[in-house]
Amino acid sequence: MASYPNPLPVGPGQESVWDYPRPPRLESVPERLRIVFDGMTIADTTRGWRVLETSHPPTYYIPPEDIAPGSLARIASGSFCEWKGRAIHFDVVGPTRRAPQAAWAYPTPTPDFAPIANHVAFYAAPMESCHVGDDLVTPQPGGFYGGWITPRIVGPFKGGPGSQGW
């Protein structure tokens, strides 16, 4: 049986990833989401979505029309999520840099996640910066999950050493 950590205390204006549901929930995000890569803003929206799943910081999805043209290059790899379906992967491309496999999308997600069809999620670590409203994002630990940590989210978070069984 898996051993789960004790959730950290939640302060005013914060939420715990341990209160997020499983299976995950999809929520619209009215706050501005902004991503900077290689010196340029490659994504900027107030029409984003976030996926909330137990023990994970939220993963944010941006509508394709709010992503700078030419900043995504589709690659051959893909993946599968038991909740959202088949994902396609992208390299993120800037004027002088390329971040391999740094973004993904679900062209035909499962019905519960239909609103994020073709919306793109980005790993925060390879980006220069990611922002939720005025908050600067810290990447989720580990290299597999793409959650964005802000001061409003408390853990502990899946992805770090010893968390595989959560």
In this prediction, residue 2 has a pLDDT band, given cuts at 50, 70 and 90, of low
In this prediction, residue 18 has a pLDDT band, given cuts at 50, 70 and 90, of very high
In this prediction, residue 162 has a pLDDT band, given cuts at 50, 70 and 90, of confident
pLDDT at 103: 98
Q: What is the tens place of the pLDDT at every residue in 30-79? A: 999 999 999 999 999 999 999 999 999 999 999 999 999 999 999 999 99
Cα 25 to Cα 87: distance, rounded to the nearest angstrom: 18
pLDDT at 1 exceeding the cut of 60: no
State the chain's mean pLDDT as an integer: 95
pLDDT at 160: 84
pLDDT at 42: 98
Which string of b and e fits 77-100 if b means at least 16 CB within 10 Å? eeeebeebbebbbbbbbbeeeebe
**Is the pTM for the entire model greater than 0.85?**
yes
pLDDT at 144 exceeding the cut of 80: no
